[in-house]
Structure 1
Amino acid sequence: MEITCTAMPETLLESELFGHERGAFTDAKERKLGRLELAHGGTLYLDEIGDMPVELQTKLLRALQERTLERLGGHESIRIDVRVLAATNRDLEALMKDGRFREDLYYRLNVVSVHLPPLRERRRDIPLLVEHFLAKHGAALGECGVAPEALDRLVGHDWPGNVRELENVIQRAMVMATGGVILPEHLPIGPVSAAASVAVDATLEEIIEKKLMECVRGLREHASANLYDLMIGLVEKPLLRAVLRETGGNQLRAAQILGINRNTLRKKLVEHGIDPEALGG
């Protein structure tokens, strides 16, 4: 069971957490059990705990310490046995210094802490999340795929709103993508620089694999595409150019670094049309 602490006014949040008796306030026409009581024997997830009003924090702390609560307008102490999970994107230590979050509640909740980095620091998760949201909303909005260029833009975006923003963007793009494929123009986010389009935490192997997946997509029906030789050539040429730039065009030194003999290097340079003198400057 969960409750978001920013989604409702303080009085309503208090009622949702602790429940109320009939007549406790104007619209309280019948008794209502709160989330803490309903979660008895289970788990209650408090989202955005950093935005909970201080007065309500005090009441929550007392309920957690004493394992009892009173519904609004009631006098009966009700026993509860609840495991509480809390999450926030706010700096709780800074809020404590400002007097906007109770220190005792912080230490009461902070038994086990899990820090989840912002989405911009774990860009490799974005393709997996995109796939998840496409499946999640496919029944309601129609099944969609994502063009490689659109996925690059999603991976390169900084996502100040983190996963919630990503899900919102995917939902909107699914509505706009009437052809069943999400294109860059369907995304309400700006283009990204070439540097940002590659995940900052991606390894060289992951970058190469991502590009190779784009190359082989759709080839399963082909009897033969001579793909091995083609891919080796595409990787070999930039490798030779990079090493020659590093050695200032010195073929002997380049051959030593590559672990091949000089004649083999010369042959490969001719095959790929590479002029070592042009790379020596």
Structure 2
Amino acid sequence: MRAKILIVDDDRDILLGLENRVTWMGHEPVTADNGKDALRLIEQGEFDLALLDLELPVLSGLDILERVRGSAHTERRAEEGPHLTGYTTPLIIILTAFGTIERAVQAMQLGAFDFLTKPFSADHLTVVVNKALATVALHRQVDALRHEVGDRYDHLVGTNAKMAAQLTIAKQAAGSDVTVLLLGETGTGKEVVARAIHRWSPRRSKPFVTVNCAALPEQLLENELFGHEKGSFTGAFKREPGKIEVAEGGTVFLDEIGDMPLPLQSRLLRVLQDQTFYRVGGTQPVHTNVRFIAATNKDIRRAIHEGAFREDLYYRLAVITLTLPPLRERMDDVPTLARHFLDCAVRRGIHRSCALSDHAAQALQQYQWPGNIRELENVLMRAAILCPEETLEPAYLHLPDSPFPSQPKTESPPSHYHESIDAYSRKIIEEALRRNGWNQTKAAEELGLQRTYLTKLLRQKNISGRPPNESSSEF
């Protein structure tokens, strides 16, 4: 990274030497020869690092360090509440010819990153500067992740009564270690709610580990969950912990639990009952302290009736059950969610500023969203990329079969509700396939769906994945 580095020293020769070295390293130097100017520059500029002499006219290096530290704490306290870190911007390296232990300790206590005693070699300076800039880069990644995590929970807030009721239960459940089962269609935000429960819980400082039970065959899923011992199978050259061990003290999120093979359901049941398990190939029990949250888009009770899911495991998992409504049942939240996703696009640098027009908001509320929140997010992100204006109009949404203005919606009789929804979703899917030349992967991307889920919908709704004029020949 090309960094902006402030250099402060009242010795002109040292100042010039440091400036030349920083330039040689590929960074942008800015210089000052007294404490007052240094403090003004820090307050005005966005510096990554400061090389600060301890003995300066007007304000000493320690005085500047103390003021910068206090200002940074005030800003971060307002932003983060009680979760403060020791990081301030810019990071400060103290330079002094008076290298006593007492002054070094005092500078470090005030937040200095490091302490260099004059004279120091150019190579030593380079090492310390590179180390400091690596720390700056790391903290920026942490800040980016913190904002990303915050983004993922913002859209839990809404006015829809159904969703609000489920979130109220989720917050109440978060304070205990009871298992939670999340039900709902694909794209309704089950993982987001699971992460929120973890974040609201006393386990928030421990890991949140996700396991997709539908993504791996039985043997690999077993290894993923429970780990293995050295020599337990060909290629097992050392002991490897599973996700349950990795999540010790935290939360394990079992996504698509309805697809877990029956033999693994038995092993999971034992973990829930006894808080112990065996690694693959192991003979010693491993004790665990984790909280389990599971999710599925399947009808679990039907799976139990068909013998595909253990009833005793269901009752262990469903101490608290949350059913997340599909987006079509919380249309009042669509404008709020849309504005949230557009704000996310701005923060990610996808678009400078993008406001949702009234017509676009109306168009969004007239679409049925078979892919739920995930589809809405994809539509808004795509629109933010394609829209050159500051106001997003319906034309940039590219919603399937949604010309604008459209006729006001009329409610179907209750007895025909599901038939109407099914017919509408069939039409949306067929049109997406037609626009994409019957390429199912591209159609799934347009709809904001996973390719495997689109295949499942085609099968469920008896939709051909091929053009109408293309039929299979039998001999």
TM-score tier (shorter): 0.5 to 0.7
Could you say if the C-alpha distance between residues 28 and 109 of structure 1 is closer, same or farther in structure 2, counting changes exceeding 3 Å? Answer: same
Q: Report whether the alignment pairs 1:142 with 2:351.
A: yes
- In terms of mean alpha carbon deviation, does 61-70 or 27-36 score higher? 27-36
Shift of 1:104: 0.8
- Structure 2: where are the runs of 5+ without partners? 1-207, 412-475
Please, which moves more after superposition, 8-17 or 92-101?
Answer: 8-17
Q: 1:130 to 1:64 in 2, by over 3 A?
A: same
Is the CA contact (8 Å cut-off) linking 1:20 and 1:32 kept in structure 2?
Answer: yes
Pairing 1:19-168 to 2, within 5 Å after superposition = 19-138=227-346, 139-143=348-352, 144-168=354-378
After superposition, what is the alpha-carbon deviation per residue over 1:170-228, rounded to whole angstroms, capped at 9, x for unaligned? 22222222435433233242217533499xxxxxxxxxxxxxxxxxxxxxxxxxxxxxx
- Supply the AA of the counterpart residue of 2:343: A
**Alpha-carbon displacement from aligned partner over 1:85-108 (angstroms, at most 9, x marks no partner):** 112221111111111111111001
Match of residue 15 from structure 1:
223
With a CA cutoff of 8 Å and minimum separation of 6, indicate the structure with the bigger relative contact order: 1
Q: Distance in 2 between matches of 1:194 and 1:101?
A: 45
SS of equivalent residue, structure 1 residue 87:
strand
Contact 1:155/1:197 (CA < 8 Å) preserved in 2? no
CA distance in 1, matches of 2:362, 2:410: 6
User: Which letter does structure 2 place at the counterpart of 1:116?
Assistant: L
Shift of 1:110: 0.8
Alpha-carbon distance between aligned partners in 1 of 2:238 and 2:351, rounded to the nearest angstrom: 41
Equivalent residue letter for 2:408: A
- Percent identity, aligned pairs only, is 46
Task: Indicate the residue corresponding to 1:276 in structure 2.
Answer: none
Change (3 A) 1:81 1:26: same
1:19/1:72 contact within 8 Å kept: yes
Could you tell me which residue of structure 2 aligns to residue 194 of structure 1? 407
TM-score, normalising length from structure 2? 0.38
Distance 2:289 2:388 in 1: 49
Separation in 2 of the partners of 1:181 and 1:26? Answer: 59
8 Å CA contact 1:67, 1:81 repeated in 2: yes
Q: How far did 1:77 drift?
A: 0.9
Q: CA, structure 1 residues 149+101, in 2 after alignment: closer, same or farther (shift >3 Å)? A: same
Structure 1 counterpart of 2:263, one-letter code: E
Change beyond 3 A, Cα 1:39–1:189: same
Once the 2 structures are TM-superposed, how far is the Cα of residue 140 of structure 1 from its aligned partner?
Answer: 4.8
> Does the residue aligned with 1:33 lie in a helix, a strand or coil?
coil
Shift of 1:109: 0.6
Distance 1:43 1:14 in 2: 18
Aligned-partner residue type, residue 185 of structure 1: A
Letter in 2 for 1:72: V
User: Taking structure 1 as reference, are residues 188 and 30 closer, same or farther at Cα in structure 2, changes over 3 Å only?
Assistant: farther
- Closer, same or farther in 2 for the Cα pair 1:29/1:187, shift >3 Å? farther
Cα separation, 2, equivalents of 1:147 and 1:181: 6
Change (3 A) 1:114 1:15: same
TM-score of the two chains, using structure 1 as the length reference: 0.62
Secondary structure of the residue aligned to 2:292 is: strand
- Partners of 1:173 and 1:14 lie apart in 2 by 41
Q: Tell me, yes or no, if the aligned pair for 1:47 and 1:88 is still in contact at 8 Å.
A: yes
In the alignment of these two chains, the number of paired residues is 198
Q: Which amino acid letter does the alignment assign opposite residue 21 of structure 1?
A: E
Task: Show the counterpart of 2:383.
Answer: 173
- In the superposition, relative to structure 1, how do residues 133 and 4 fare at CA in structure 2: closer, same or farther (>3 Å)? farther
Which residue of structure 2 lines up, in the alignment, with residue 266 of structure 1?
A: none
Distance 1:15 1:186, change over 3 A: farther
- Greater displacement, 133-142 / 97-106: 133-142
- Residue pair 1:153, 1:197 contacting (<8 A) in 2 also: no
Question: Hey, what's the Cα distance between the residues in 1 that align with 2:232 and 2:344?
Answer: 40
In 1: Cα distance, 2:389 partner to 2:397 partner: 14
Structure 1 residues 171 and 72: CA distance shift in structure 2, 3 A: farther
Q: Which residue of 1 aligns with 2:166?
A: none
**Structure 1 unaligned spans of 5+:** 199-281
> Is 1:156–1:197's contact at 8 Å kept on the other side of the alignment?
no
Q: Distance in 2 between matches of 1:136 and 1:126?
A: 15
- For residue 178 of structure 2, what is the aligned residue in structure 1? none
> Structure 1 residues 93 and 135 mapped into 2: Cα distance closer, same or farther (>3 Å)?
same
